Amino acid sequence: MCTLEKTGNIFYLTLTGDGEHRLNPTLIANLRSSLSQVKSQAVKGSVLITKAEGRFFSNGFDLKYAQAGGSPQAARDRLLNMVDLFKPLVADFMCLPIPTIAAVTGHAAAAGLLLAMSHDYVTMRSDKSVMYMSELDIGMTLPDYFTAMIRSKVGSGGGRRNLVLKAAKIRAEEAVMMGLVDSAHPTTEETVDAALTIAEALGKKRWDGKAYAEIRKSLVPELCALLGLKDVAVMPSRLAKAFWLRLLVEGFVWESYMEDSFSLIFKVGIVYNCGQTYLFLTIGKKEQRPLFSKTTLSRLEVSWFWLATLLIMSFGVPTSRPSGNRS
């Protein structure tokens, strides 16, 4: 199973126990629930570290669970179901609005390797850990999103060939050279400490979480397409103060002719400013500088504004000079 703890702004997601941390429907559901908690509690400066107890980071899908189906067809169905259930977990990692680091202190194989690769950074223990894509050895094709992840994270064709078509057991130093791992360390403690050092440095950046997640997704477009993830534009709040996107300006103009030489103009508009709507009104003489102008009205002023707008729309707006002589 897994636990989720929080120290300061750093979340620790731990695969608990001395087993192989095989990914079955129960563990996948627990991991997704933990990531949901992280997402809801994350603030600027938050970081996630995923680690595991024992000799394994994760040894892939739970094949014993699949074989317990009672027949070859039932085993196949259970395995394909785990492939389908694991896919949204990978999507959760891609959408998480904080940096993520995997501290791989044990073996990471098949889906367990993909779990590690779903993180932004990976530290790895060098003496007793290997990364291993075992599908070729067990006679199983790779799910499409596995292949897309490998293509995005392993830069060289030779590295991809060794990992997938040779089913090589990749040790930490080689994984660093392939770009699978950021750093290798001799002990479990040093591997986790290295992950913590990265986390503390990233946390100080206090990046916007939505922007971080969208930029991460933009780096793996093929994977995101297979996961069903869509791009969402994020506008910087600092630019929002300087640049206004005008949706509707001068919603209506009310001209009231009081005398031949004077025309009063009452203008109302709506400006959209990166997620917030502002109202503005201007009162002034026709074809002259306004006598009064105000933006970002208070809630009370907005309420009175809409009431006045409804009244004007209900009773009509005079837009031409009244006929007849003035007395």
Residues 129 and 212 in one domain: yes
Q: Which residues have C-beta within 8 Å of that of residue 9, sequence separation ≥ 6?
A: 43, 45, 46, 47, 203
Question: Pairing state of beta strands 10-15 and 47-52?
Answer: parallel
For residues 136 and 272, membership in a common domain is answered with no
**Residue 234 falls inside a structural domain:** no
pLDDT at 206 over 50: yes
Same domain, 189 and 297: no
Q: Name the domain boundary from 227, 249, 284.
A: 227
Alpha helix segments (H runs only) across the chain: 25-41, 63-67, 72-95, 111-117, 135-138, 144-153, 157-160, 172-178, 188-203, 209-219, 221-227, 237-242, 299-315
220, 289: one domain: no
* Residue-number span of the structural domain to which 53 is assigned: 2-227
280 has pLDDT over 80: no
Is residue 65 one of the residues assigned to a domain?
yes
Task: Map tokens 């809801």 to a residue.
Answer: 40
170 in any annotated domain: yes
Residues 255 and 212 in one domain: no
Closest CA to 21 of 84, 105, 123: 105
Whether 319 shows a pLDDT value over 70: the answer reads: no
293 shares a domain with 183: no
Q: Write down the pLDDT at residue 232.
A: 85
Q: 87 and 152 in one domain?
A: yes
Check whether residue 181 and residue 311 sit in a common domain. Answer: no
Q: pTM surpassing 0.85?
A: no
In a domain, 258, yes or no: yes
Does residue 326 lie in a domain region?
Answer: no
Q: What is the DSSP string of 252-312?
A: EEEEEEEETTEEEEEEEEEEEETTEEEEEEEEEETTS-EEEEEES--HHHHHHHHHHHHHH
Number of domains in the chain: 2
| Long-range CB pairs of 300-306, under 8 A, 24+ apart, other chains included | 305/268, 305/279, 305/281
**Across 198-222, average pLDDT:** 96
Residue 22 lies in a domain: yes
What tens digit of pLDDT does each residue of 45-72 get?
999 999 999 999 999 999 999 999 999 9
Tell me: do 36 and 143 sit in the same domain. Answer: yes
